[in-house]
Amino acid sequence: MHRDAFIMAGRSEDDGDTSVLTATKPKTKRPPLYKVLLLNDDFTPMEFVVHVLERFFGLNHAQAFEIMLTVHKKGVAVVGVFSHEIAETKVAQVMDFARRHQHPLQCTMEKEE
C-alpha cells in the first residue's frame, strides 16, 4: 500500500534555505465496492426470494434460504459485495425479475464504508 505521503518545508535552523521538497503518494486508489442489499416485504413469497438468490447471486439452496430468512427476520441483509457496475447489474436484474413476476421485492446498493 502507498500510504506514505510527506511534505518537508525548508528553514529548520534559519540557514536561509527556502527550498521545499514534496513527496506525493502514487495515487492508485482501488475502486470502491458496493454492497447489494435485499429488503423484506410482506408479500413476496419466500420461495421466490430463494430462487432470486440462487439465480442472480450464485448461492446454493441452503445459503439462499439462510439469507432469505435473515431478510425476513431482520428486514434487510447484504447479499453480496461487487464493483459499481456489477452491483448495478445485479440490482437491475433482481428488480426486473421481481417486476415481471409482480412481486414488490426491493433490491438496492450502497457504497461500502
The DSSP bridge partners found for residue 7 are 22
| Amino acid identity for residue 84 in this structure | H
Cell matching residue 30: 482501488
Nearer to ligand TYC, 41 or 66 (CB): 41
| Amino acid identity for residue 51 in this structure | H
Residue 45 found at the interface with ligand TYC (CB under 6 A): yes
DSSP H/E element including 64: helix 61-74
Burial of 30 (0-12, 13-18, 19+ CB in 10 A): exposed
**67 phi, psi to nearest 5 deg:** -70, -40
Nearer to ligand TYC, 71 or 91 (CB): 71
Residue 56 found at the interface with ligand TYC (CB under 6 A): no
How many residues line the site for ligand TYC (CB under 6 A)? 13
User: Given candidates 64, 71, 94, 98, which one binds ligand TYC under the rule CB under 6 A?
Assistant: 71
User: Given candidates 68, 94, 98, 109, which one binds ligand TYC under the rule CB under 6 A?
Assistant: 68
Nearer to ligand TYC, 32 or 104 (CB): 104
> Which parts of this chain interact with ligand TYC (CB under 6 A)?
38-42, 44-46, 49, 68, 71-72, 105
